[in-house]
Amino acid sequence: MRFRLESAHPYPFMRCYCSICRKTAGSGGYGINLAGDYGTLKVTGKKNISVYRALLMDEETGRRTRSSGRRHFCKRCGSALWLWDPSWPDLVHPHASAIDTALPVPPEHTHIMLASKASWVEVQAQRKDRKFEGYPDESIADWHRRLGLVTAVTPRARRKRRGGATS
């Protein structure tokens, strides 16, 4: 299958160490989530896609609930593709590992969900990197804004920034 989308926020800076991302999309101990415009997502070969909704357990009550996040993966090759959550329907979060287009190198990183990190994983943090035990206080779009890295979507740039994946 193949997919493509557009994003004004294409830097792969956010490393998520939560147990779901690291197990489904990150053998290095974390997954890297991007943010794109769901309205631009185009998929070919949809029949090869499966959706996984993780079971979340509340540590205090022991109650289990399904994650609202829909993790899309290729059922032929197992590649993690993207997450879509109806709570933020305009966004789609592809995994950087699924994108063929060359992505820009981030000047700094954000490490999130460190409370869920596997014990053997060493956080490779650079001097300016931010670290969070849980969710960050800054969205993917806000990170790009703070660092002046939001790219205006023009027709020419749009072609360049398109991401795609093949399997």
Which burial class, exposed, middle or buried, applies to 47 when counting CB atoms under 10 A from its CB (0-12, 13-18, 19+)?
A: exposed
Q: How far is CA 28 from the centre of its chain?
A: 15
Does residue 21 interact with Zn ion by CB under 5 A? yes
Helix locations, the chain, DSSP H:
19-25, 140-146, 155-161
Does residue 25 interact with Zn ion by CB under 5 A? no
Does residue 18 interact with Zn ion by CB under 5 A? yes
Does residue 16 interact with Zn ion by CB under 5 A? yes
As measured in angstroms, the least distance from the Cβ of 122 to Zn ion is 18
Enumerate residues 131-150 that contact Zn ion by CB under 5 A.
Answer: none
CB 92 within 8 A of CB 41: yes
Residue 102 or 115 having the CB closest to Zn ion: 115
As measured in angstroms, the least distance from the Cβ of 92 to Zn ion is 15
Q: Binding residues for Zn ion, per CB under 5 A? A: 16, 18, 21
